[in-house]
């Protein structure tokens, strides 16, 4: 009832145990707190919180317009709804090293298990679009070192994302990944890999867990969990999958409603009232109320929901 029963510290310990090279742990992207609950119910290993989804949900493009406060608040709302560890996309860290340090502490406070910080500069963009720009290694290494130094929980995962692959090629991306591990990164997110052999090359080159981004309509094919596991990947994210699916469904029902004058034809596809209540654990709140509201006043009927009161 109410929220996660697992503490942030425990979630971070769990995350560290999950991130084994070759385990290809699946972290679907939650687009709201309730969808995080669904992800947990379906037996996934963790929850991803996408910067693109966060921005798009506010009606903004994913170009670095969201603020640390917005991201930490929303990520915290999502993290508290699940017992799974949640990793959030911290974009470029929201500024220079001192800002990155504050970012990490705010995300720790919000109950996240880890975050990734990338080497683009603002205005940043989706890693699967052309025309990206990256900062030099020194600047990025300082971001990562500041992040690692600022955390108070040693298990809070600092993942370095590099967008260098699309700008300077795979070898340069691998060199950067290695240097970022030296700077303190606990894990590497190599963005926009072209094929599975590229993931394999990164996994071989670094000694830390590697993430694969299986975003639809991007530069990477949608590899299966098994393919990525065989390549040595530790964690796979599906950042925008649920938002795309939910918005696709919303668009279809609006079309039906406009065309037919009723939503009747779409009801079958909808989450039922019962299922929705199940997801918010409605029943547990009822039980809680009944447990508290158990006293009697002589001569007065104060049964639950008594209209006379």
User: Which positions are catalytic?
Assistant: 48, 62, 89, 91, 116, 118, 126, 161, 191, 213
- 191 counts as binding Mg ion under rule CB under 5 A: no
Footprint (CB under 5 A) of Mg ion, residues 51-70: 51-52
Residue 22 Cβ vs ligand MIC, minimum distance, rounded to whole Å:
22
1 vs 129, which CB is nearer to ligand MIC?
129
In the range 21-40, which residues lie near Mg ion by CB under 5 A?
none
Residues 28 and 48: beta-carbon distance below 8 Å: yes
The nearer residue to Mg ion, 49 or 148, going by C-beta atoms, is 49
Task: Report how far residue 205's alpha carbon sits from residue 215's, in angstroms, rounded to the nearest whole number.
Answer: 23
Residue in this structure with the two tokens 């990734």, named with its chain if needed: 116
Smallest gap from Cβ 61 to Mg ion, in A, equals 11
Q: Which is nearer to ligand MIC, 222 or 254 (CB)?
A: 222
Out of ligand MIC, Mg ion, none, what residue 103 binds, judged by CB under 5 to 8 A for its kind, is none
213 binds, among ligand MIC, Mg ion, none (CB under 5 to 8 A by kind): ligand MIC
Minimum distance between the CB of residue 127 and ligand MIC, rounded to whole angstroms? 3
Min dist. Cβ of residue 229 to ligand MIC (A): 20
Phi and psi, residue 231, nearest 5°: -80, -10
Nearer to ligand MIC, 76 or 218 (CB): 218
Which residues are near ligand MIC by CB under 6 A? 50-52, 62, 89, 126-128, 213, 215, 218, 239-240
25 binds, among ligand MIC, Mg ion, none (CB under 5 to 8 A by kind): none
Residue nearest to ligand MIC (CB): 50
For ligand MIC, give the closer residue by CB, 238 or 308. 238
Order of all β-strands in the sheet with 114-118:
47-49, 86-89, 114-118, 157-162, 187-190
Burial of 266 from C-beta contacts in 10 A (0-12 / 13-18 / 19+): middle
* Interface with Mg ion in residues 77-96 (CB under 5 A): 89
Residues 105-144 that bind Mg ion (CB under 5 A): none
Compute the least distance from the CB of residue 256 to ligand MIC, in Å.
28
Binding residues for Mg ion (CB under 5 A): 51-52, 89
């Amino acid at each position: 009832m109410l929220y996660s029963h697992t503490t942030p510290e425990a979630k971070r310990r769990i995350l560290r145990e999950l991130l084994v090279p070759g385990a290809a742990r699946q972290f679907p992207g939650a687009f709201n707190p309730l969808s995080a609950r669904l992800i947990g119910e379906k037996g996934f290993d963790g929850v991803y919180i996408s910067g693109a989804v966060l921005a798009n949900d506010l009606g903004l493009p994913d170009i670095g317009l969201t603020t640390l406060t917005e991201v930490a608040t929303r990520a915290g709302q999502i993290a508290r709804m699940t017992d799974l560890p949640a990793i959030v996309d911290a974009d470029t860290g929201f500024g220079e090293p001192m800002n990155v340090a504050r970012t990490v502490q705010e995300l720790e406070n919000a109950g996240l298990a880890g975050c990734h910080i990338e080497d683009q500069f603002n205005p940043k963009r989706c890693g699967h679009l052309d025309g990206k720009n990256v900062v030099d290694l020194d600047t990025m290494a300082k971001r990562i070192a500041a992040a690692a130094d600022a955390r108070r929980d040693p298990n809070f995962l600092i993942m370095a994302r590099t967008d260098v692959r699309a700008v300077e090629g795979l070898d340069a991306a691998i060199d950067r990944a290695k240097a970022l591990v030296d700077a303190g990164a606990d894990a590497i997110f190599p963005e926009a890999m072209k094929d599975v052999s590229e993931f394999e090359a990164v996994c071989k080159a670094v000694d830390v867990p590697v993430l694969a981004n299986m975003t639809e309509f991007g530069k990477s094919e949608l590899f299966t969990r098994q393919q990525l596991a065989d390549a040595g990947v530790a964690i796979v994210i599906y950042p925008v999958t649920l938002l795309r699916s939910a918005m696709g469904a919303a668009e279809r029902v609006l079309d039906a409603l406009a065309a037919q004058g009723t939503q009747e034809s779409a009801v079958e596809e909808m989450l039922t009232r019962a299922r929705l209540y199940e997801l918010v654990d409605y029943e547990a709140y009822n039980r809680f109320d009944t447990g508290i509201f158990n006293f009697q006043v002589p001569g007065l009927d104060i049964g639950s929901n008594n209209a006379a009161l």
